[in-house]
Amino acid sequence: MDKEYLKKLAENPNFIPGIYNYCDRWCERCAFTCRCMTYALSKDDIDDPQSQDINNKAFWDKLHGIFNVTLEMVKETAEEMGIDLNAIDHEEFAKQEERVHERVKDQPYTKAAFAYVEMVNKWFESNKDLLKEKGDELRTLALVQIPGTSPDRDALKIQDCIEVIRWYQHQIYVKLCRAASGMIRGEHENLEYSLQDANGSAKVAIIGIECSIAAWGGLLNHFPQQEHTILDLLVNLKKLLRQVETAFPDARAFVRPGFDNANQNS
């Protein structure tokens, strides 16, 4: 990959600018793959599975190439904007970032999102046998074909709920950290920030929370014996949702490029 290739790719009028900034990165389920520059770039990786394997040299070579091109483009843009990158006090900058990072981790909603990550891990760890038993039960039902049962459909539903929960489990925390970082940076005069970006990240987190709530509800239907633990998770997610909505009251109104204004982009 080189700079010229990237620039040429970016000129494609079919791409929706910035769509990848406020999506959930679940490309397999995304309806906008053909309109996303990030997806177009990652398609090279899909064609070359080695460059997706963290243990393979091809993966690190690819990453190295992306960093180099990005750095080159950042320098070029800084020059165009008259910004002297050498004039930045790197030590002070690092200290400021560390202070922001500490405050990010200290927000009630980031703490709650982090705790949720652990709760989910614990739930799957302690219910490994239950999930296996359910799989065995559905396989047996599929073999004997009892009228009125739909084991295949049930298996797909359970699988989908688990995939959704696992997909958003960490993403909620990551997106909330980004949103918190934007908000905190806004309180410092000399730090660059964007309230819009904070709202956009918070909106993605909100969507992740809502999808997770629905998925846990789906699991509850199939594992009524786990009512107590699942309700506990749901209560925590609902509480987290309220915390995020309070901290970012304008998040829901944020318009995600492509997803929230698809008609304008078609």
Query: Least Å distance between CB 51 and ligand SF4?
Result: 17
- Considering beta carbons, is residue 17 or 65 the nearer one to ligand SF4? 17
109-168: which residues touch ligand SF4 (CB under 6 A)? none
Task: State the CB neighbour count (10 A cutoff) for residue 257.
Answer: 21
- Binding flag, residue 23, ligand SF4 (CB under 6 A): yes
Q: Does 5 bind ligand SF4 (CB under 6 A)?
A: no
Name the one residue in this structure whose structure tokens are 């620039």.
Answer: 7
Q: Work out whether 207 is an interface residue with ligand SF4 (CB under 6 A).
A: no
- Distance, CA of 12 to CA of 5 (rounded, Å): 12
Contacting ligand SF4 (CB under 6 A), which of 2, 7, 13, 30? 30
Q: Which is nearer to ligand SF4, 30 or 104 (CB)?
A: 30
Instruction: Quote the DSSP letter at residue 203.
Output: H
- In whole angstroms, what is the distance from residue 248 CA to residue 207 CA? 13
Q: 């910035």: which residue's tokens?
A: 18
Dist CA 208 CA 173 (whole Å)? 10
Query: Does residue 41 bind ligand SF4 (CB under 6 A)?
Result: no
Contacts of 33 (CB under 8 A, 6+ apart): 27, 39
Q: Find the shortest distance in angstroms from Cβ 15 to ligand SF4.
A: 10
> Smallest distance from the beta carbon of 34 to ligand SF4, in angstroms?
9
What CA–CA distance (Å, rounded) separates 246 from 53?
Answer: 40
Q: Which stretch binds ligand SF4 (CB under 6 A): 17-25, 123-131, 133-141, 167-175?
A: 17-25
Residue length of the chain: 266
Question: Of 36 and 177, which has the nearer Cβ to ligand SF4?
Answer: 36
Under rule CB under 6 A, residue 32 binds ligand SF4? yes
